[in-house]
Every structure is written in C-alpha cells, then in structure tokens.
Amino acid sequence: MPMDVRAAIEQLKLEWPEIYKAVIYQGIMLERELVLVHLNVAKIYDSLPEAVEEVAVGTPSN
C-alpha cells in the first residue's frame, strides 16, 4: 500500500474515528460475503479445495 494511502487512512482514523470504524466494518462485511459465496459454491459442486484456494488468493466471486 502506498505511503500516501496509509497516511490518509491514519488521518481518517485520527480525525473521524466513527467513519473509520464504519468503513472497516463495511470492508469486513464485504470480505465475509465473498468468502460465503465461495463456500456456498463449494457445497453445490463439492469443491472445497478449490474454494479454499480462491479465498486464499482473494479471487472475486463475480
């Protein structure tokens, strides 16, 4: 992550802690949704090893 992005995130965290928390929470929920899509597809197609690999590399669920 570029340093200017890190600085912007840190500034957001310091100046607007509630917005920072909301953004982090939203990111967590989006990631959880991605993982659940992969796991649900794995159940349907009996492909857990492939789903684990897709989650590990961060493949979008499209």
**Cα 53 to chain center, whole Å?**
15
Task: Evaluate whether 9 touches 23 at the Cβ level (below 8 Å).
Answer: no
* Whether pLDDT at 2 is above 80: no
Q: How far apart are CA 62 and CA 10, in angstroms?
A: 31
Quote the pLDDT of residue 62.
65
Per-residue pLDDT tens over the stretch 4-45: 999 999 999 999 999 999 999 999 999 999 899 989 989 999
Q: How many other C-beta atoms can be found within 10 angstroms of the C-beta atom of residue 9?
A: 14
| Rounded distance between C-alpha atoms, residue 53 and residue 60, angstroms | 12
